[in-house]
């Protein structure tokens, strides 16, 4: 008999917090709101830690059915929770980073209006995210999937009086809807062909299929459709456009939802469906190609951004691309490893960026910063840790995970040197734009105005003068900085071994290929070292270039930009992708909706039909109502006339 | 023996008088009496047929009609008094509050 860990409590705890704060928070003091929000998210984290401590004594996968949900014929989907190594990693990342960001938000949002609303949404997000990672079937996962989208929408549009924030929220929601459409179709295909959405049952049915048989087309279709869903949620080409705009939300939201957790849901989903992808090589290849292209594309855009948060946003898109490279070449554990380290260092970078923005009174333009190193030392040092981690300097976290992905991109059976080459070039770009940001923000002379009293969008931050953030914001920064430094020391090998039971089909197939496999890595040890050397030198090159351009010779970038001309302009304008989407998709849709559906169908046909029939009824009534005179004798006359007609009719019928 | 048609013609005349009075007269009490006249026209044809076919049911029906007419007279007169109290007239042309 398996133990009951009451896994359902983990998602439900934040839900209680969200409900209490959301329903009654308006009357609470800020302290009470904070106490409730932290209590419930902290309880979820504590529960997750307890589950982790019990984990070794469990049989995996550990499935707990909380309640029956849908029963329709043979098909059923339950409120059931699924715990294995993969969801345990996700669980700890989500609750841990989530709890830290809750703490940080206390300091960051203290001055803001709608304080209780913010924490209610944040707890609501935790609920849905935990549902997503703990679900034991695709349908429950989809509930979490949609729910985090909702929470994301609410939080991006948190400052809903600002037009750009409101429309960024809508954009995120609509673009995600396109991805969700693909996800849904994939679910329908699974129901039709497998009769189940349960992870275990689907995997059992897919496992015996070989890629050559006729079902391969089906699996490829399911895989591609799942990837469409993942591309929407995890901001991959061609659906990445919402993520940079999502930076309109408060910075802790960008850190939690749009860097550390929600956007990685797509990676998690693809990894969770690894059995399907392993049986559909074409889908795998598409995942890897999309990941590679996105990584490169977003990194190039990131180089030219001037907004602190936008740089990090494109960097997130780019890093998510790395994770998909990992998934696409079959190195799911490497992808998840990068997901975890990325959650640490990108969460850290966003929070540190928030601390910088807080310090300079709401300014987000890096060109108006500079020289902040001595003024906000805590932020500087933590952000330095994050920057070196993402750039891939050993022995920080980003180095291990990125290196694992790059090595697999080359060496795995699905791999290709092209993935690796683009990956290394992207690593160079990553290092370059991150250090560019680092130098622009913390070194040189301060270029902003001394006293910025109007907070850029968030009115609460303008208290004049550059100042370090309060301890409640710095503590999460320090913890995340430590994690960013040490998080990679687990090592990808050990991580791989830990996750092996989840991705066991992979190891099973590799051992099945014969005894030559174990010998191979030893032979390639020197190659691996060489590749590691190359990626580290790429990171170093990026650092040196950024140092040269943005520290030693700050006038150089402008000259280079001028000499690049049109290409530079294209990059600055993000390759005009938003504009292209606007002309190709958005404008025809709006025009079609306005002219054809609204004016043509709705106004001229539907409304017209309703209005005309109402007008007709009124005209007829106008004519008839004069019979209703109120005069008793005229009524009597009508009765008599009617009776006479009946009598004449009967007499006439009788005489015929 | 008087043929049944005579009774029927008399009943018809009585009924027609009732209808005419009902339509022409303005005084509520007169209209009320016209209704009674119509009822009695019908009663006459009932008993005429009852005699013709030697069937008792026609006569039973007449009793029913008379009972209903008596009840109706009680209610109707009460309504007429109520109308007179509020409107201070029994002219039906002036009792037309229900018109549109």
pLDDT recorded at residue A113: 84
Chain B residues with beta carbon closer than 8 angstroms to that of A640: 19, 22-23
Which tens digits make up the pLDDT trace of B58-90?
999 999 999 999 999 999 999 999 989 988 888
User: How far are the Cα atoms of A8, A324, A398, A584, B91 from residue A525, in angstroms, in the given order?
Assistant: 45, 25, 21, 49, 118
This prediction has a pTM of 0.78
pLDDT reported for residue A211: 64
Mean pLDDT of A519-543: 78
Asked if residue A538 has pLDDT above 50, the reply is yes
pLDDT at residue B30, as a whole number? 92
State the Cα–Cα distance between residues A430 and A536, nearest whole angstrom: 12
Neighbours of B100 (CB within 10 A): 8
Task: Tell me which chain A residue has its CA closest to the CA of residue B24.
Answer: A633
Secondary structure class of A420 (helix, strand, coil): helix
Residues 6+ apart with CB under 8 A from A170: A153, A157
pLDDT surpassing 70 at residue A81: yes
Of A231-235, A287-291, A652-656, the poorest mean pLDDT is in A652-656
Which of A618, A621, A625, A632 to mutate against chain B (most B CBs within 10 Å)?
A632
**Which residues in chain B have Cβ-Cβ distances shorter than 8 Å to A631?**
92-93, 96, 99
Determine the Cα–Cα distance for residues A536 and A544; give it in Å rounded to an integer: 12
Q: What is the Cα A542 distance to its own chain's centre?
A: 28
CA atoms within 13 A on the CB side of B76: 16
**Residue A382 neighbours by CB under 8 Å, 6+ apart:** A348, A352, A474, A477, A478, A480, A481
Do the Cβ atoms of A181 and A265 come closer than 8 Å?
Answer: no
Q: For residue A453, what pLDDT band results from cuts at 50, 70 and 90?
A: very low
Instruction: Could you please state the CATH topology (level 3) that the domain comprising B4-87 is classified under.
Output: Helix Hairpins (1.10.287)
- Is residue A462's pLDDT more than 50? no
ipTM over 0.90: no
Given pLDDT bands bounded at 50, 70 and 90, which one contains residue A214? Answer: low
Residues 6+ apart with CB under 8 A from A292: A321, A325, A328, A418, A419, A422, A423
pLDDT at residue A516 above 60?
no
Q: Give rounded-to-5 percent helix, strand, coil for chain B.
A: 80, 0, 15
The percentage of chain A sitting over the pLDDT mark of 90, rounded to a whole number, equals 51
Tens-digit pLDDT profile for residues A352-378:
999 998 888 888 888 888 888 888 889
Q: Compute the mean pLDDT over every residue in chain A, rounded to the nearest whole number.
A: 87
Residue A504, pLDDT score = 66
Cβ <8 Å between A636 and B95 = no
Q: What percent of chain A has pLDDT over 70?
A: 93
pLDDT at A573: 84
Return the H-helix or E-strand segment holding A309: helix A308-328
Residue A394 buriedness (CB in 10 A; 0-12 / 13-18 / 19+): middle
* Cβ-defined contact of B93 to A629 (cutoff 8 Å): no
Q: Which residue has the higher pLDDT, B25 or B95?
A: B25
pLDDT at A535 over 80: yes
Q: Which two tokens stand for residue A271?
A: 């990894």
Q: 3-class SS at A53?
A: helix
Residues 6 or more apart whose Cβ sits within 8 Å of residue A318: A294, A295, A296, A297, A298, A299, A302, A426, A429, A430
**Cβ contact A631–B99 (<8 Å):** yes
CA angle A551, A552, A557 (to 5 degrees): 75
Domain extent listing, chain B: 4-87
In this complex, the residue of A626, A628, A632 whose CB is nearest that of residue B95 is A632
Residue A513: the pLDDT is 39
Whether residue A155 has pLDDT greater than 70: yes
- Alpha carbon distance A95, A7 (integer Å): 13
Nearest to B19 among A625, A632, A640 (CB): A640
CB-CB neighbours of A162 under 10 Å: 14
| Tens-digit pLDDT profile for residues A83-127 | 989 999 999 999 999 999 999 999 998 888 888 999 999 999 999
Task: pLDDT band for A173, please (50, 70, 90 cuts).
Answer: very high
Give per-residue pLDDT as tens, A560-575. Answer: 888 887 888 888 888 8
Cα(A638)–Cα(A315) distance, integer angstroms:
86
Reported as a single tens digit per residue, the pLDDT across A574-619 is 888 888 988 998 899 999 999 999 999 999 999 999 999 999 999 9
Query: What percentage of chain B carries pLDDT values higher than 90?
Result: 64
Q: How confident is the model at residue B99 (pLDDT cuts 50, 70, 90)?
A: low
Strand (E) positions, A265-330? none
Nearest Cα to Cα of residue A7 among A59, A54, A51, A69 = A51
Residue closest to A123 by CA, chosen among A42, A207, A217: A42
Min CA distance, A617 vs chain B (Å)? 17
In this prediction, residues A466-480 reach a mean pLDDT of 89
Q: What is the dihedral of CA B70, B74, B76, B81, to 10 degrees?
A: 150
CA distance A412 to A398: 20
| pLDDT tens profile A91-103 | 999 999 999 999 9
| For residue A391, pLDDT beyond 80 | yes
Q: What is the pLDDT of residues A260-317, one digit of tens each?
A: 899 999 999 999 999 888 888 889 999 999 999 999 999 999 988 889 999 999 999 9
A-proximal residues of B, 15-34, CB under 8 Å: 19, 22-23, 26, 31
Contact call for B96 and A629, based on CB within 8 A: yes
Confidence of residue A456 (pLDDT cuts 50, 70, 90): very low
**Closest residue, chain A, to B21 (C-alpha):** A633
What pLDDT was estimated at residue A430?
A: 93
Interface of A with B (CB under 8 A): 625-626, 628-633, 636-637, 640
Task: Grade residue B92 by pLDDT with cuts at 50, 70 and 90.
Answer: confident
Chain B residues in contact with A625 by the CB 8 A cut-off are 100
> Mean pLDDT throughout A444-468?
59
Name the residue of chain A whose CA is nearest to B18's CA: A640
What integer pLDDT is reported at residue A464 of this predicted model? 54
Instruction: Name, in order, each residue with C-beta under 8 angstroms of A454's C-beta and a sequence gap of 6 or more.
Output: A362, A462
Q: Which residues pair with A78 in a beta bridge?
A: A68
Per-residue pLDDT, A620: 93
Name which of B92, B98, B99 is nearest A633 (Cβ-Cβ).
B92
Tell which residue, A178, A152, A392, A145, has the closest CA to residue A270.
Answer: A145
Position B95 scores a pLDDT of 80
Determine the pLDDT at residue B36.
92
- Which pLDDT band, with edges at 50, 70 and 90, does A212 fall under? low
Return the number of other C-beta atoms located less than 10 Å from residue A177's C-beta: 12
* pLDDT, greater one: A58 or A380: A380
Q: Please tell me the predicted confidence (pLDDT) of residue A394.
A: 83
- Of residues A56 and A620, more confidence is placed in A620
Q: pLDDT by residue (tens digit) across A234-246? A: 999 889 999 999 9
User: What per-residue confidence (pLDDT) applies to A134?
Assistant: 93
Q: What is the rounded CA–CA span in Å between residue A518 and residue A511?
A: 8
pLDDT at A414: 84
The yes-or-no verdict on residue A522 having pLDDT over 60 is: no
DSSP A182-239: HHHHHHHHHHHHHS--BHHHHHHHHTT--TTSTHHHHHHHHHHHHHHHHHHHTT-TTS
């Amino acid at each position: 008999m398996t133990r009951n860990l009451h896994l359902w409590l983990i998602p439900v705890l934040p839900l209680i917090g969200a409900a209490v704060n959301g329903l009654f928070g308006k009357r609470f003091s800020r302290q009470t709101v904070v106490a409730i929000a932290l209590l419930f998210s902290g309880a979820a984290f504590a529960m997750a830690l307890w589950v982790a401590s019990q984990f070794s004594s469990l049989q995996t996968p550990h499935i707990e059915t909380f309640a029956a949900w849908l029963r329709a014929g043979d098909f059923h989907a339950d409120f059931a929770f699924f715990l294995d190594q993969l969801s345990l990693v996700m669980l700890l990342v989500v609750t841990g980073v989530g709890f830290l960001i809750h703490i940080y938000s206390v300091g960051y949002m203290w001055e803001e209006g709608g304080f209780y609303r913010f924490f209610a949404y944040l707890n609501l997000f935790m609920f849905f995210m935990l549902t997503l990672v703990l679900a034991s079937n695709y349908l429950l996962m989809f509930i979490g999937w949609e729910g985090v989208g909702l929470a994301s929408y609410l939080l991006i549009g948190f400052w809903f009086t600002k037009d750009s924030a409101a429309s960024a929220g809508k954009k995120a929601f609509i673009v995600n809807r396109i991805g969700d459409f693909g996800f849904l179709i994939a679910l329908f295909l699974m129901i039709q062909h497998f009769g189940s959405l349960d992870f275990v049952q689907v995997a059992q049915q897919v496992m015996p299929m070989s890629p050559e048989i006729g079902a391969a087309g089906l699996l490829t279709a399911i895989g591609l459709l799942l990837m469409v869903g993942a591309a929407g949620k995890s901001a991959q080409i061609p659906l990445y456009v919402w993520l940079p705009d999502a930076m309109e939300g408060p910075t802790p939201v960008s850190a939690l939802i749009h860097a550390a957790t929600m956007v990685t849901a797509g990676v998690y989903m693809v990894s969770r469906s690894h059995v399907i992808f392993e049986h559909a090589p074409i889908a795998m290849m598409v995942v890897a190609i999309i990941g590679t292209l996105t990584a490169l594309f977003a990194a190039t855009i990131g180089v030219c951004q001037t907004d602190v948060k936008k740089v990090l946003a494109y960097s997130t898109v780019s890093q998510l691309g790395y994770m998909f490279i990992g998934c696409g070449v079959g190195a799911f554990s490497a992808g998840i490893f990068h997901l975890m380290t990325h959650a640490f260092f990108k969460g850290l970078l966003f929070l540190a960026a928030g601390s910088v923005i807080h310090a300079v009174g709401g300014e987000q333009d890096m060109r108006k910063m500079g020289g902040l190193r001595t003024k906000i030392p805590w932020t500087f040092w933590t952000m330095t840790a994050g920057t070196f981690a993402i750039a891939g300097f050993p022995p920080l976290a980003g180095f291990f995970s990125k290196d694992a992905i790059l090595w697999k991109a080359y060496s795995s059976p699905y791999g290709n040197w092209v993935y690796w080459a683009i990956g290394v070039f992207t690593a160079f770009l990553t290092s370059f734009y991150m250090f560019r940001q680092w130098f622009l923000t913390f070194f040189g002379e301060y270029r902003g105005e001394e006293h910025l009293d109007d907070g850029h969008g968030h009115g609460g931050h303008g208290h004049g003068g550059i100042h370090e953030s309060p301890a409640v914001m710095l503590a999460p920064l320090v913890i995340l900085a430590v994690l960013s430094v040490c998080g990679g020391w687990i090592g990808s090998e050990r991580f791989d071994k830990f996750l092996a039971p989840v991705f066991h089909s992979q190891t099973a197939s590799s051992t099945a290929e014969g005894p030559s496999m174990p010998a191979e890595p030893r032979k390639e040890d020197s190659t691996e070292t060489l590749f590691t050397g190359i990626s580290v030198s790429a990171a170093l090159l990026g650092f040196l270039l950024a140092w040269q351009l943005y520290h030693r010779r700050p006038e150089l970038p402008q000259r280079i930009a001028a000499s690049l001309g049109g290409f530079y302009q294209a990059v600055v304008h993000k390759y005009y992708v938003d504009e292209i989407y606007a002309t190709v998709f958005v404008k025809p849709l709006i025009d079609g909706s306005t002219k054809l559906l609204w004016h043509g169908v709705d106004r001229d046909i539907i409304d017209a039909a309703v209005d005309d029939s109402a007008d007709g009824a009124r005209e007829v009534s106008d004519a008839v109502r004069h019979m209703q005179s109120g005069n008793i004798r005229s009524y009597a006359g009508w009765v008599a006339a009617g009776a006479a007609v009946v009598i004449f009719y009967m007499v006439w019928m009788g005489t015929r | 023996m008087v043929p049944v048609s005579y009774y029927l013609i008399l009943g018809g005349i009585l009924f027609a008088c009732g209808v005419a009075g009902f339509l022409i007269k303005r005084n509520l009490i007169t209209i009320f009496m016209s209704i009674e006249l119509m009822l009695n026209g019908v009663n006459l044809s009932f008993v005429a047929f009852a005699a013709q076919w030697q069937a008792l049911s026609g006569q039973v029906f007449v009793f029913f009609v008379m009972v209903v007419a008596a009840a109706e007279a009680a209610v109707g007169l009460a309504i007429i008094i109520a109308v007179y109290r509020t409107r201070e007239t029994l002219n039906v042309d002036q009792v037309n509050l229900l018109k549109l």
